[in-house]
Amino acid sequence: MFKKLAIVFCACLAFLAKAQTPAFYAQVSKNKVAVGEQFQIAFTLNGPGNNLVYSNLKDFNIHMGPNQSQSMSIVNGNMSQSTTISFIISAKKEGRITIGPASVMANGNQKLETAPIVIEVTKGSPQSAQGNNSSDPNQFASEIGDEDLFVRTFLSKTKCYIGEQITVTQKVYSRVDLRGFQNIKFPPYNGFWSQQEEGNKQINLQQEVLNGITYFVAEYNKVYLFPQRSGTLNIEPVELECIVRRATQRQPRNIFEQFFGAGGYEDVAVKVKSKAVKVEVKELPEEGKPEGFTGAVGNFSYKTELSKEQVKANDAVNIKLTVTGKGNIALLEAPKAELPESFETYDPKISESIKTAGGVSGSKTFDYLVIPREKGEFTINGLNFSFFDPEKKQYVKLPSAEMKLTVLEGDASSAQVFVPHKKGLNETENDIRYIKRGDLGLKKTEDEFFASPLHYALLVAPVLLFLGGVIAVKQRIKANSDMPALRQRKAARIAKKQLAAAEKHMQANRKDEFFNEVLNALNRYISDKLGLPVADLSKDRISEMLLQRHVQEQTRAQLLAMIDTCEYAKYAPSAVTGDLKKVYNDTAELISQLENQIKL
């Protein structure tokens, strides 16, 4: 009977809450504090709501929270319900600090925001750092031993070859009431190309026995690494804060908290840090290395396709080279296409489909556009592909299929023929014209055109023009064959094309894909402009190279900050807020500034 009454009572409360006018506001226990002095900030919503977005508290230390409490009251038959979420925080520095607005969605479609709050922070003291709160979360954190809560990093292997895939798994082991994570600082993975595992972001707790002790284990991160240089590489520690729930001595403040069991628990943040791990990376063996090997490591298959078997001269045909398999497929470079001299070819169009479920795998296609200029029967071969298999510890050669192409005589209309304009001759009515008499106005000239300087100049001019054209063509061929210089010249243009893809994700409000495209555009631009492989683009290396090329300090700082923002969004897209349009405009402006300041 009691359970039935409780269900009816809750249903009535929900009905009355819907009729309540929603309101959302923020308040602090004090607005004048010292550095390190603890005070409370609370966000209160009157009525139902969802999709709460907190204010940015980056200038404060969070000592406790978020703590949630609810209250209800009935006056003259009208019931009101309010939910409060509070934090215990302290300021990190002196000055006037503004806590920005928080927001929440009420009644499904009504967005409510709190007013900004200004906090005046003065110089701290030992007494103020201790705070006025009798409940010190640090005291509780000190009660948790190293065997009660810790984080560990696991490697699928500690010895590998350059380019070989390594799986890095990071887990939290807990014997306390673990509720969640915050402020995760992932390592930079210097010396590695990293690929975050995609898929389900939900973190589940499982039981695991370690050294005879049963723990609740949360696997919160899995990343795939590909070492880019030999030697001993360090994977730096990961740092994060674990939200742990503990029982308190606070009594329920009203009958409703007592009825629903509230008031007896609070959440505190406990910092944990993993240990650094090392990986021994070996060079790929020189013995048996095939000619034209481009660094593919893994297990792959290979296919070549010709879009047409017969084509007319000066018409285009496509040659597709597709690599499929598991390994460092995202880092594969375009195979060098050795084609007949009469074939004109262009840089390939590259498309890829990469998956990270259980490891990095997928396919990558290089589509070459080719224009044969002469007729004949041609056999296209030699487009071979090779890779190193780390399991077998040997190179594998995959020959291309033999492709035959028949090139027919081109259409006459495809050639540009210059037809000079011909003026018609005026016909006369008489066969013999009248011989003019008198002074004809003729003048005798002393100089003749034949063997004159103008005569020789006109004879030599075509030869000089021809030689100049040959030299210009050779210089252009030489410039286009210098791939690093060509990439430097086209770096900004290619980056802006990639930003166009990011703009489409921005318009569709796909944050994850948007930040990924912006990060790829920045990495591709820096790689092409500075002549560095993408895998070697560490922040220290980028800053050093830009400093050598006299890039302004402010521009370097903006670039590193933008890379940090995109990398953070890559690992925690739901935690990133802000105007995507501003990020897009700032990135385009940043590339333009770098283009003007980098001195090659």
pLDDT value, residue 575:
56
pLDDT value, residue 386:
92
* DSSP annotation string for 308-344: -SEEETT--EEEEEEEEEEESGGGPPPPP----TTEE
Strands (E) in 231-290, as ranges, are: 231-235, 239-247, 265-273, 277-282
List pLDDT tens digits, range 411-452.
765 543 333 333 344 444 455 565 666 677 776 666 677 777
Mean pLDDT, rounded, for 31-38: 85
Helical (H) or strand (E) element with 566:
helix 553-571
> In the predicted model, is pLDDT for residue 129 greater than 50?
no
Q: Which two tokens stand for residue 3?
A: 């359970």
Lowest mean pLDDT among 94-103, 124-133, 323-332: 124-133
List pLDDT tens digits, range 549-561.
888 888 888 888 8
C-alpha closest to that of 221 among 233, 238, 236: 238
Q: Which two tokens stand for residue 65?
A: 């929270």
For 8, residues 6+ apart whose C-beta sits below 8 A from its C-beta are none
Q: Where in the chain is the domain with CATH 2.60.40?
A: 2-133, 141-282, 298-413
Which listed CATH number (2.10.240, 3.30.70, 2.60.40, 2.30.30) goes with 2-133? 2.60.40
Give the CB-side neighbour count of residue 558, counting CA atoms within 13 A.
16
Strand 166-174 with 149-155, pairing:
antiparallel
Q: What is the mean pLDDT of the chain?
A: 78
Name the pLDDT band for 147 (thresholds 50, 70, 90). Answer: confident
pLDDT value, residue 422:
37
Using CA atoms, how far apart are residues 316 and 373, in angstroms rounded to an integer? 10
Using CA atoms, how far apart are residues 568 and 186, in angstroms rounded to an integer? 9
Q: Which residues pair with 235 in a beta bridge?
A: 277
Residue for token pair 């897009």: 584
> In the predicted model, is pLDDT for residue 513 greater than 90?
no
Using CA atoms, how far apart are residues 132 and 320, in angstroms rounded to an integer? 71
For 539, residues 6+ apart whose C-beta sits below 8 A from its C-beta are 188, 560, 563
Name the pLDDT band for 258 (thresholds 50, 70, 90). Answer: low
Mean pLDDT, rounded, for 358-367: 90
pLDDT value, residue 73:
53
Buried b (16+ CB within 10 A) or exposed e, 580-589: beebbebbbe
383 class by beta-carbon count within 10 Å (0-12 exposed, 13-18 middle, 19+ buried): buried
108 versus 45: the higher-pLDDT residue is 45
Name the pLDDT band for 257 (thresholds 50, 70, 90). Answer: low
Lowest mean pLDDT among 178-182, 361-365, 368-372, 468-472: 178-182
Q: Which residues pair with 239 in a beta bridge?
A: 185, 273
> In the predicted model, is pLDDT for residue 11 greater than 50?
no
List pLDDT tens digits, range 325-342.
999 998 888 877 778 888
List pLDDT tens digits, range 271-309.
899 999 999 999 999 988 988 888 999 999 999 999 888
3-state secondary structure 43-110: EEEECCEEEEECCCCCCEEEEEEEEEEEEEEEECCEEEEEEEEEEEEEECCCEEEEECCCEEEECCCE
List pLDDT tens digits, range 108-119.
678 888 888 888
For 376, residues 6+ apart whose C-beta sits below 8 A from its C-beta are 342, 407
Counting residues of the chain whose pLDDT is more than 70, the rounded percentage is 77
The CATH class of 483-597 is mainly alpha
List pLDDT tens digits, range 392-410.
999 999 988 888 899 998 8
pLDDT value, residue 454:
82
The residue type of 77 is G
Q: Where in the chain is the domain with CATH 1.20.120?
A: 483-597
> In the predicted model, is pLDDT for residue 310 greater than 70?
yes
Which listed CATH number (3.40.1000, 2.60.40, 3.30.450, 2.70.98) goes with 298-413? 2.60.40
> In the predicted model, is pLDDT for residue 377 greater than 80?
yes
pLDDT value, residue 142:
46
List pLDDT tens digits, range 516-540.
888 888 888 888 877 777 766 777 7
594 versus 573: the higher-pLDDT residue is 594
Mean pLDDT, rounded, for 491-515: 81
- Alpha carbon 537 to its chain centroid, in Å, reads 13
pLDDT value, residue 15:
41
Mean pLDDT, rounded, for 570-596: 76
> In the predicted model, is pLDDT for residue 14 greater than 70?
no
Name the pLDDT band for 267 (thresholds 50, 70, 90). Answer: confident
Mean pLDDT, rounded, for 228-234: 92
Lowest mean pLDDT among 149-153, 274-278, 469-473: 469-473
List pLDDT tens digits, range 243-254.
887 766 555 555
> In the predicted model, is pLDDT for residue 48 greater than 90?
no
Mean pLDDT, rounded, for 180-192: 85
> In the predicted model, is pLDDT for residue 102 greater than 60?
yes
Contact 26, 64 (CB under 8 A): no
Write the CATH number of the domain with boundaries 141-282: 2.60.40
pLDDT value, residue 481:
59
